[in-house]
């Protein structure tokens, strides 16, 4: 078990970030163990043919026997949504001793794959050469496997953060962590992360807590090293919507609202921006905007600005109408 002891100031400094390099690195587990991530099988099938086999073998070897990954590949984000290239540049600056420490933490000495044998060298040169080669492979992998769908992935991550921010506003830290994952427990100022390889407690001591929703995490993932500040990648909501086809079944509301608006009202049980709604319904944003105006004028949905996006969600009246429809 790994735990974070958080004081009042740390809770006040709890914030969210989106990290493209985290998603890129965590997605390697999906390639390595597809059975563990059934929701991502459509994505996996679509990208396998675009990947360079030798490079993919090296990258998949980064996933240890217990599904651990070297911490240096997922640096702590320094801004809300950094560019992949900036995060990769930070990885390229990792000192040889940190690279060596993090790889050996995932692969205890004697169990290293052949491609990582250089990590045990006393000379830093081979270790840094290996680090740079991994970064080159990661960059090509990002371009082929993650970047084409990054706009959709980012929208799902942002929708989760909107939901979590509301949980925090309504019920504080206890409600924020309550439905994040069964492995998380909040008690007496300590966030406990169960079923982890390591066993240590990190005292935040004014460094706050950084939360990162992830579409490729199957459970909460804190840093392996106890020397790192509190940071947690966690499985975000709405992952099933990324690759699954949009349902087209008519609902009981279709005769009243029309099929497109009935599907739209059903979709807005959670706050979503126009572009994400359009993606899920496989229509243009302009078509969605027309239906949103009608539903908003009827009092069935609400809207609120969140950064760059206007988020739409069912109103209490819309919830009531949708709930009555579901009961029929």
pLDDT digits (tens, 9 = 90+) for 60-83: 999 988 888 999 999 999 899 899
Averaged pLDDT, 129-150: 94
Q: CA-to-CA distance for 88 and 135, rounded, in angstroms? A: 7
The pLDDT value recorded for residue 249 is 47
Q: Tell me what pLDDT residue 201 has.
A: 84
Q: Residue 45 burial by CB count (10 A; 0-12/13-18/19+): exposed, middle or buried?
A: exposed
> How does residue 324 score in pLDDT terms, banded at 50, 70 and 90?
low
Cα-Cα-Cα-Cα torsion 198, 30, 143, 50, nearest 10 degrees, comes to: 150
| Between 224 and 21, residue with greater pLDDT | 21
In terms of pLDDT, which residue wins out, 251 or 146? 146
User: Rounded to an integer, what distance in angstroms lies between the CA atom of residue 317 and that of residue 69?
Assistant: 47
pLDDT for residue 61: 92
Write the pLDDT tens digit of every residue in 259-305: 888 888 888 888 888 888 888 888 888 889 999 999 998 889 998 87
Q: Over 70: is that where the pLDDT of 246 sits? A: no
Q: Are 265 and 295 in contact (CB under 8 A)?
A: yes
The whole-model pTM stands at 0.75
Residue found by looking up tokens 């500040």 in the block: 229
| Average pLDDT of span 90-106 | 93
Q: What is the pLDDT of residues 100-123, one digit of tens each?
A: 999 988 887 668 888 888 888 889
Please say if the pLDDT value at position 327 is more than 60: no
Q: How far apart are CA 29 and CA 32, in angstroms?
A: 5
The answer to whether 285 touches 298, Cβ cutoff 8 Å, is: no
Burial of 109 per CB tally in 10 Å (0-12, 13-18, 19+): exposed
Question: DSSP alpha helices (H): ranges in the chain?
Answer: 8-12, 20-32, 41-48, 53-60, 84-92, 96-106, 124-141, 150-178, 240-243, 254-257, 259-267, 274-281, 285-297, 316-327
152 pLDDT more than 90: no
pLDDT per position as a tens digit, 172-200: 888 888 888 999 989 888 899 887 766 78
Contact in structure between 130 and 116 (CB atoms under 8 Å): yes
Asked if the model's pLDDT at residue 248 lies above 60, the reply is no
């Amino acid at each position: 078990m790994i735990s974070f002891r958080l004081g009042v100031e740390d809770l006040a400094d709890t914030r969210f970030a989106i990290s493209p390099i985290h998603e890129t690195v965590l997605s390697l587990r999906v390639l390595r163990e597809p059975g563990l991530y059934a929701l991502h099988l459509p994505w996996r099938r679509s990208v396998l043919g675009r990947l360079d086999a030798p490079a993919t073998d090296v990258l998949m070897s980064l996933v240890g026997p217990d599904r651990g990954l070297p911490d240096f590949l997922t640096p702590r984000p320094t801004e809300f949504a950094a560019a992949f290239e900036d995060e990769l540049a930070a990885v390229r600056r990792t000192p040889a001793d940190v690279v060596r420490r993090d790889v050996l933490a995932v692969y205890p000495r004697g169990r290293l794959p052949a491609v990582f044998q250089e990590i045990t060298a006393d000379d830093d040169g081979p270790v840094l050469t290996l680090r740079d080669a991994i970064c080159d492979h990661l960059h090509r992998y990002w371009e082929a496997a993650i970047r084409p769908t990054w706009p959709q992935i980012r929208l799902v991550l942002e929708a989760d953060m909107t939901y979590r921010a509301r949980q925090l506003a309504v019920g504080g830290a206890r409600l924020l962590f309550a439905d994040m994952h069964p492995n998380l427990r909040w008690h007496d100022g300590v966030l406990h992360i169960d079923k982890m390889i390591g066993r240590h407690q990190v005292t935040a001591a004014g460094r706050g807590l950084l939360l990162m929703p992830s579409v490729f995490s199957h459970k909460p993932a804190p840093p392996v090293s106890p020397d790192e500040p509190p940071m947690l990648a966690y499985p975000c909501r709405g992952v099933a919507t990324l690759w699954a086809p949009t349902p087209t079944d008519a609902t009981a509301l279709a005769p009243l609202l029309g099929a497109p608006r009935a599907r739209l009202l059903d979709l807005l049980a959670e706050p979503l921006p126009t572009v994400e709604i359009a993606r899920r319904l496989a229509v243009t944003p302009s078509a969605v905007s027309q239906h949103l105006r009608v539903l908003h004028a009827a009092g069935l949905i609400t809207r609120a600005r969140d950064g760059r996006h206007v988020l739409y969600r069912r109103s209490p009246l819309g919830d009531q109408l949708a709930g009555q429809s579901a009961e029929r």
